[in-house]
Amino acid sequence: MGTQTTTVTAPGRKILTLDSSHGTVYREISSAPPRAATAEEIPIIDLSKLNSKNLEDHKSIALKIKAAAENTGFFYIENHGIEEEIIENAKESVMKFMAQPLEVKQKVARKNQKYWNGYFEPAGSQANKSESRDHKENFGWQYSPNLDPLYDHLPHPIASSSIPANILEYIRAEDEIWDGTLSCPGFKENAITYYRSMLSLARRLTKIFALALDLDESYFDHLTTYPGADLAFNYYPPVSGDIGKVKENEAMAHDVGLGSHTDLQCFTLLWQDMIGGLLVLNRGGEWIKATPIKGTIVVNIGDFLMRMTNDKWQSTVHRVEVNKTSEPRVSMPLFFGFNFNEFIGVLPTCASESEPPKYEPLRIGDWNYIRLNQSHNKIFKQREEAKKKAMVEAMM
């Protein structure tokens, strides 16, 4: 998804071009610099009563989440229950892993894996074809029952026979990637501990989301037994100085740290460090800053949950600025979706005779992989075109 300027827009406006599930779409947005978000645009929601056994306490949280989800689709959560030590250990492991020589990290390169688990090299992705390549590195992995606290009672590694056949075909984990991280002691352990904590938090939030949608608190429980739960360690090297081996003049080729896009699953839980750079596009077409707030996690609604709510909840465009500080920036998002084998349409509480469903039921796995494969195929095509161009120029 990306931006381009056109002469037919009003002064101070430009066109944002976006790839979506509906094809290419366009948004007229402000060309003004990003501004600070107001508390109404990205509110802070306290989860301290999440452990309460009182349903009314849960409903009070749900009301705040509903308001935020219908507005910008972004909010912070505080008192979320994930220990600071778990977060810090994961962050430090990311920093140590990314500080290794490129050839060491390439031992677990995502391009060598069947299902795209592992390491993504600098500028290895392009979230928006109309913007620059993403100025970041990444290590990511997909859901594995072996990492899920829900199945700690089973012998590990979990036998395929213990997983329902209609689920097994959608398990895209490649557990061997962890062998390629042994050069960074503690990385695997800290990464998995963080993942398990975020996964548990996501499941608890689905109960509050159900209440926010006027459903029973347990409505989504059967959809989260083998969820689409992917985690990414994003590393945004600085563009000033030699840190990260990126010089200022080299960085001029980059518009963005991560291009303008929406998230395709149900929702995202994002821990970000205090450097900042996450921008959210509000309804007025202004870029607003999701400024880091210590002790919080950013939550944003994804495309599939917006679809399930008949577009009542907002999956909002966001991007990450190029890191122009002198320090690397780290973010650690969990992208959470429901079981890939499930067919889901518009929720019963989100449609009526006057507002009929806009969407037919769709298998979540089909949605997810069609969207991802479109993105990955595009990246490979662009790489091959760039290689071909370089070869032709070298022969001239």
pLDDT in tens, 266-301: 999 999 999 999 999 999 999 999 999 999 999 999
Evaluate whether 6 touches 15 at the Cβ level (below 8 Å).
yes
Let me know if residue 28 belongs to a domain.
no
Let me know if residue 25 belongs to a domain.
no
Pairing of strands 137-141, 118-120: antiparallel
Number of domains in the chain: 1
Let me know if residue 376 belongs to a domain.
no
Q: Which residue from 116, 374, 395, 135 is spatially nearest to 255, judged by alpha carbons? A: 135
Provide the strand spans (E) within the chain: 2-4, 13-20, 23-30, 35-36, 44-46, 74-78, 118-120, 137-141, 228-236, 256-261, 267-272, 278-281, 287-289, 296-301, 318-321, 329-337, 343-344, 362-363
Evaluate whether 126 touches 259 at the Cβ level (below 8 Å).
yes
> What single letter denotes the amino acid at residue 357?
P
Q: Which residue from 76, 18, 81, 72 is spatially nearest to 49, judged by alpha carbons? A: 81
- State residue 254's pLDDT score: 52
Domain of 272 in residue numbering reads as: 37-365
- Distance, in Å, from the CA atom of 42 to the CA atom of 44, rounded to the nearest integer, reads 7
CATH of residue 287's domain is 2.60.120.330
Let me know if residue 354 belongs to a domain.
yes
Let me know if residue 261 belongs to a domain.
yes
Evaluate whether 328 touches 375 at the Cβ level (below 8 Å).
no
- Distance, in Å, from the CA atom of 338 to the CA atom of 365, rounded to the nearest integer, reads 9
Q: Which residue from 206, 178, 202 is spatially nearest to 192, judged by alpha carbons? A: 178
- State residue 333's pLDDT score: 98
- Ramachandran class of 276: left when φ > 0, alpha when ψ lies in -120 to 50, beta otherwise: left
Tens digit of pLDDT at every position of the chain (396 positions): 444 434 455 668 888 888 776 667 788 888 899 999 999 999 999 999 999 999 999 999 999 999 999 999 999 999 999 999 999 999 999 999 999 999 999 999 998 999 889 999 886 676 677 677 778 999 999 999 999 999 999 999 999 999 999 999 999 999 999 999 999 999 999 999 999 999 999 999 999 999 999 999 999 999 999 999 999 999 999 986 443 444 444 444 457 877 778 889 999 999 999 999 999 999 999 999 999 999 999 999 999 999 999 999 999 998 999 998 999 999 999 999 999 999 999 999 999 999 999 999 999 999 887 776 655 444 444 444 554 455 445 544
Evaluate whether 323 touches 257 at the Cβ level (below 8 Å).
yes
State the sign of the Cα–Cα–Cα–Cα dihedral 282, 284, 285, 288.
Answer: negative
Let me know if residue 388 belongs to a domain.
no
pLDDT tens-digit profile of 324-357?
A: 899 999 999 999 999 999 999 999 999 999 999 9
Question: What number of other Cβ atoms are within 10 A of residue 371's Cβ?
Answer: 17
- Distance, in Å, from the CA atom of 220 to the CA atom of 203, rounded to the nearest integer, reads 9
- Distance, in Å, from the CA atom of 74 to the CA atom of 65, rounded to the nearest integer, reads 9
Residues forming beta bridges with residue 230, ordered by sequence position? 335
- Distance, in Å, from the CA atom of 122 to the CA atom of 216, rounded to the nearest integer, reads 44
Question: What number of other Cβ atoms are within 10 A of residue 176's Cβ?
Answer: 11
Pairing of strands 296-301, 74-78: antiparallel
φ, ψ dihedrals at 11, nearest 5°: -55, 140
Let me know if residue 1 belongs to a domain.
no
- Distance, in Å, from the CA atom of 170 to the CA atom of 329, rounded to the nearest integer, reads 32
Instruction: Supply 370's token pair.
Output: 């069609």
Pairing of strands 13-20, 74-78: unpaired
Tokens 């963080």, residue? 194
Let me know if residue 136 belongs to a domain.
yes
- State residue 243's pLDDT score: 39
State the sign of the Cα–Cα–Cα–Cα dihedral 18, 232, 75, 267.
Answer: positive
